[in-house]
Amino acid sequence: MTEPSNLATSAVGEARRHPDAVEARTRRSPGKAWGLWVARRLGLAVLTLWLVSVIVFWATSALGDPVRAILGKDFAVSPARVQLIRDALHLDKPLVERYFIWLGDLLSGNLGTSVTSNLPVAELIGDRVVNSAFLVLVVALVMIPLTLVLALLSARRPGGVLDNVIQGITLALAGVPEFVTGILLVALFSTSVFHLLPAVAVLPPGSAPWDRPASLILPMATLVISVTPYLVRILRSNLLESLGSDYVELARLKGIPERRVLLRHALPNTLVPAIQVTALQLAWLVGGVVLIEYLFNYPGIGATLVDAVRNSDFPVVQALAMIIAGVYVLVNLVADILSILLTPRARTGMAA
């Protein structure tokens, strides 16, 4: 039998004689590295969603007796309905068992049944989720290019008139709550000054928001005004940091025009932090849209969630909370993937 010392000596000798072969065996292929990274991130995403499911279920269960909250004064006079709701929510079972029943239904695509309308939750919120997703998509399509243009104009001549104007406006808007912005827009464009846009979203049953674009303008403008100032200030700060770096100074010494320096040298190096911040803001929009939709009576998840909380419709609350959490995790996962694709050092480091 070979002694351990002889094995170690032979391994060291092989490494000295063929260092490239040993390094090639120990280096992971790019495809394998990507697969391991995606597997880790997906595992973390699943763990995050599981923790959210625990918090959501326990939080709604801790609010008290849902049957009494749902029926109110009819609780004492409707024993048949009391038992029906208890059976639907499995309230006769222990809390842990109820959680696993609910989690199993959730994983199978069964979101439960609304206890107030007696409709399947998926049917009740399906169109509302689509409406909210469309609103967030429109906001993103307006917000991202607007942020980019304003940040470039501001960073091109820092301390200039245009930079001071943009910084002053964005700072003022960043300090205004979104519901105040919405009320001011309604007062300006729908009531007191101009009568150009509907104060609330008027969408008849069965119609889609893209069929009535005028109803989208005020909710969309409110969200854009609430999110864009913060993104502009972050991107401008990153651009100024890149403009003061050595490689940008070298590009200027070579005689490259300032506009090209800004677009070709400074901007690409600010995309990764910009993507991360934008992802956080988009994830916030999915949750923050609740207040704006309720303010403008927009038929999305916002008004549905408020009504479900008011009526103690726990299956609807739980389903919408998990949808919002799922979108948040997905947006951040996409942002991480884009960040690695745009960072050569991170790509090469994954294969090391």
Under 8 Å CB-to-CB from 324, ≥6 apart: which residues?
286, 287, 301
The whole-angstrom separation of Cα 131 and Cα 126 is: 9
Tokens 């391991």 correspond to what residue? 36
Both tokens of 159, joined, read 């301390």
d(CA 158, CA 241): 12
The Cα–Cα gap between 29 and 136 comes to 38
Determine the Cα–Cα distance for residues 155 and 162; give it in Å rounded to an integer.
Answer: 10
The confidence score (pLDDT) of residue 281 equals 80
Residue 209 burial by Cβ neighbours in a 10 Å radius (0-12, 13-18, 19+): buried
**Terminal C-alpha separation, the chain:** 35
Angle between helices 178-186 and 214-243 (to 10 degrees): 130
CA gap 307, 153 in Å, rounded: 43
Question: What's the pLDDT at 163?
Answer: 84
Can you give the pLDDT at residue 188? Answer: 83
DSSP β-bridge partners for residue 120 = 113
Look-up of token digits 């991107």: 235
Contact indicator for 207, 131 with CB cutoff of 8 Å: no
Q: What is the pLDDT of residue 79?
A: 67
Structure-token pair, residue 163: 């930079």
Alpha-carbon span 182 to 293, nearest angstrom: 10
Exposure string for 113-128, b = 16+ CB within 10 A, e = fewer: bbbbeeeebeebbebb
- At residue 73, the pLDDT reads 55
d(CA 186, CA 296): 9
Which residues are registered as beta bridge partners of 113?
120
Write down the pLDDT at residue 2.
46
Model pLDDT, residue 50: 92
Residues with pLDDT less than 70, the chain: 1-31, 63-83, 85, 87-91, 192, 204-206, 265, 287, 343-352
Residue 299 is given by DSSP the state T
Class of domain 121-350: mainly alpha
Of the candidates 327, 326, 349, 346, the one whose C-alpha atom is nearest the C-alpha of residue 338 is 346
The dihedral sign for the CA sequence 68, 71, 76, 79: negative
Residues recorded for the chain: 352
Instruction: Provide the angle, in degrees to the nearest 10, between the axes of the packed helices 314-341 and 30-61.
Output: 160
Rounded Cα distance between 337 and 332, Å, is 9
Q: Where in the chain is the domain with CATH 1.10.3720.10?
A: 121-350
Q: Tokens in use for 263?
A: 């677009």
